[in-house]
């Protein structure tokens, strides 16, 4: 690769592999704190797989059992997507929306509005992880096979519930779906186990809105919390 491609890939790794995870975990913390029933269900699942007051090592197999925790992560990204714009351009002339567009035209997808579109999501403003919690039908991102990079089966399964493919694009889709999606989900689930499993986290001001700033990604500007060991 030439130097410009090396630089672009390194920049992408820092931006897409650190900021996105950190900000999404902040959004998870904010919404879990506002929904006690979700928090209790999350803690019950974590405790059932990683018993409190016991030593354990995180394994891929155990993390993949955290179906409800993964549903929380997906719902947090649906309500407040970290990546709020998705760009694509055709390599050949194409018709979109009844218009002809030349090759190389850049199309931007507004994920924030797509993820809250009333035609695809019932009660779109409500934080409800159950919309992604399909019990035994739910397949974890950690279970995705390499072939799914092409088939994109995860998007199809999740979108089946809302009857519209690509109505939820947490990691993009198609040939250019995020190659780091497994690592991202592993990091987020690990954080939930280690932090929520061991500590009780509350917002200092429950009335304060979530403070964000958006550019290419949506940043959490401030999230004031108080932390103490869990009473288990």
Q: Is 134 exposed, middle or buried (0-12, 13-18, 19+ CB in 10 A)?
A: middle
Task: With CA atoms as reference, report the closest residue to 179 among 153, 155, 144.
Answer: 144
Q: Which residues contact 67 (CB under 8 A, 6 or more apart)?
A: 45, 133, 135, 138, 140
* 178 labeled part of a ligand binding site: yes
Rounded distance between C-alpha atoms, residue 88 and residue 222, angstroms: 31
Planar angle of CA 175, 24, 202, nearest 5 degrees: 160
Task: With CA atoms as reference, report the closest residue to 149 among 170, 169, 179.
Answer: 179
DSSP string, 126-194: S--GGGG--GGG---GGG--TTHHHH-HHHHHHHHTTTSTTS--SS--GGGS-TTHHHHHHHHHHHIII
Q: Which residues are annotated as a binding site for heme?
A: 178
Q: Which segments are annotated as binding site? A: 178
């Amino acid at each position: 690769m030439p130097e410009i491609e090396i630089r672009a890939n390194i920049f992408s790794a820092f931006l897409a592999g650190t900021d996105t995870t950190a900000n999404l975990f902040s959004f998870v913390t904010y919404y879990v704190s506002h929904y006690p029933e979700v928090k209790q269900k999350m803690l019950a699942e974590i405790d059932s797989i990683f018993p409190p007051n016991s030593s354990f090592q995180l394994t891929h197999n155990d993390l993949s059992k955290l179906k409800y925790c993964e549903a929380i992560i997906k719902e947090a990204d649906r309500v407040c997507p970290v990546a709020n714009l998705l760009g694509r351009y055709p390599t050949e002339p194409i018709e979109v929306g009844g218009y002809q567009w030349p090759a190389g035209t850049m199309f931007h997808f507004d994920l924030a509005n797509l993820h809250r579109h009333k035609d695809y999501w019932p009660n779109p403003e409500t934080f409800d992880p159950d919309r992604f919690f399909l019990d035994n039908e739910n397949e974890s991102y950690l279970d995705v096979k390499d072939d799914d990079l092409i088939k994109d089966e995860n998007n199809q399964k999740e979108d089946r519930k809302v009857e519209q493919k690509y109505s939820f694009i947490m990691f993009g889709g198609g040939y250019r779906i995020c190659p780091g999606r497994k690592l991202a989900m592993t990091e987020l689930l690990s954080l939930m186990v280690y932090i929520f499993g061991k500590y009780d986290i509350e917002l200092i001001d429950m009335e304060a809105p979530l403070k964000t700033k958006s550019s290419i990604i949506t940043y959490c500007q401030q999230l004031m919390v108080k932390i103490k060991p869990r009473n288990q």
